Amino acid sequence: MSTRLKGIDAAEAVSRDGRDGSKPASPVITLSSGVKLRCKPIPPWLIADVINEWNDRKPKIPVYLNPEKGREEENPADPNYQKALDDWNIAVAMELNNALILMGTEVIEVPEGFPSHEDREWTSKMQAMGRLSDNPHRNYLYWIKYTAAPKMPEDIELIIREVGRLSGVREEDVQAAVGSFRPQGS
């Protein structure tokens, strides 16, 4: 069974043929904070697995009894279903976002005076907010999202685009994923 996320099919999204004429992405990106990240490809199966794992949680289209036809019919226009579907799409997109950041980036340079993800001041603040964990990878994810990539959506788009390209995700699927991260009203 295939899963689609805002037009992304798990099997179609992961394409390594490179025949689309796109040039290879730069392996180093600079975020608006000045932090430089090396981007690297993530396993295509990870992308497919993240999408497919969420398939079981996808909201079911509600049905109603159509009195004119005397049978039950699906109602995909139901506002509660539409909200649940939007929430589901956002949750899947956030999982993909986390996978792309964690598996597809590594810090190569932090500007002088800028806190690293191991900085005592930064970790103290995260601890005060209940965001610090015993897992250094989770802390790295928080650092990227909260500190190193402060311009939303530009910084996150840059990460998604570059890691997605390196991972063989088609440009149109990267754009669909990027659209999932835009704040309301952007």
Complete DSSP assignment for 32-57: TTS-EEEE----HHHHHHHHHHTGGG
pLDDT over 60 (residue 100): yes
Residue with the larger pLDDT of the pair 183 and 133? 133
Angle (nearest 5°) at CA 154 between 54 and 182: 45
Domain boundaries, the chain: 4-180
- Neighbour-count burial of 80, counting CB atoms closer than 10 A to its CB (0-12 exposed, 13-18 middle, 19+ buried): exposed
- Neighbour-count burial of 179, counting CB atoms closer than 10 A to its CB (0-12 exposed, 13-18 middle, 19+ buried): middle
Query: Given pLDDT bands bounded at 50, 70 and 90, which one contains residue 180?
Result: low
Question: Phi first, then psi: what are they for 79, rounded to 5°?
Answer: -60, -35
pLDDT over 90 (residue 15): no
130 SS3 class = coil
d(CA 28, CA 105): 9
pLDDT over 60 (residue 144): yes
CB 72 within 8 A of CB 63: yes
Which residues, 6+ apart, have CB-to-CB distance to 170 below 8 Å? Answer: 12, 13, 15, 20
